[in-house]
A = this chain, B = another copy of it.
Amino acid sequence: MNKIITVGREFGSGGRELGRRLAEILGCAYYDREIIAEIAKRTSLSETYIQHITEHKPVIPFPIHTGRTFWAVIPDYGQNVQKEQHDIIREMAGKSDCVIVGRGADYILREQKPFRLFVYSDIESKIKRCQQNESADYEKGETLSEKELRKRIESINKARADYYEFYTGQKWGAKENYDLCINTSNCSVKALAEAVSRII
């Protein structure tokens, strides 16, 4: 069976960089935005739209009340995208050893028993990392004050937690769901990657 490493990460924690470096050290495939591009190819939807769908839990527009039962109507516009993402992640994991960043891959691939990393840090470190532009999840070219950046980081991480919990029924970042949780506050991700690769 292929060696699969999944990387859950708080936005601003350097988790993506850690994943990329791990793949380099271990000499295996690395999947992150490649998944979005592949969904776009298969569905003919735009990458921006797909990115939104795969980073937010669906909005439930209205409840219907019939007799004593409330029904939540979940729009199906996102279901195809989710299904494609699911299939693509399984295909990638089936192909070769790999590192997969985000997208609930730890849960999707749970039967393959991946090594499940979670990367986090304190808010000050996140702000510093974003200011140094190591991370690129918010729109490039935007100039945010520290206060705005803090708000943005918190809101992206809230969306990640909601998305993960909606699709997996598990709590995002709860250590029980991971093999190793790494706090990158005041840490060099480059130096960490080498040591983490040995644990894996």
Seen from chain A, the residues whose Cβ lies within 8 Å of a Cβ on chain B are: 118, 120, 122, 173, 175-176, 178-183, 185, 192, 194-196, 198-199
Q: Are A194 and B198 closer than 8 Å at their CB atoms?
A: yes
A192 to chain B: closest residue by CB: B199
Q: How far is the CA of A173 from the CA of B102 in the complex (A)?
A: 23
Q: How far is the CA of A177 from the CA of B80 in the complex (A)?
A: 39
Q: How far is the CA of A195 from the CA of B195 in the complex (A)?
A: 6
User: Of B120, B175, B195, which contacts A198 at CB under 8 A?
Assistant: B195
Q: Are B179 and A180 closer than 8 Å at their CB atoms?
A: no
Chain B residues within an 8 Å CB radius of A179: 182-183, 185
Q: Are A180 and B178 closer than 8 Å at their CB atoms?
A: no
Which of A122, A175, A185, A194 has the most C-beta atoms of chain B within 10 angstroms of its own C-beta? A175
A173 to chain B: closest residue by CB: B175
Chain B residues within an 8 Å CB radius of A199: 192, 195-196, 199
User: Of B122, B175, B194, B195, which contacts A181 at CB under 8 A?
Assistant: B175
A179 to chain B: closest residue by CB: B183
Q: How far is the CA of A178 from the CA of B118 in the complex (A)?
A: 13
A196 to chain B: closest residue by CB: B199
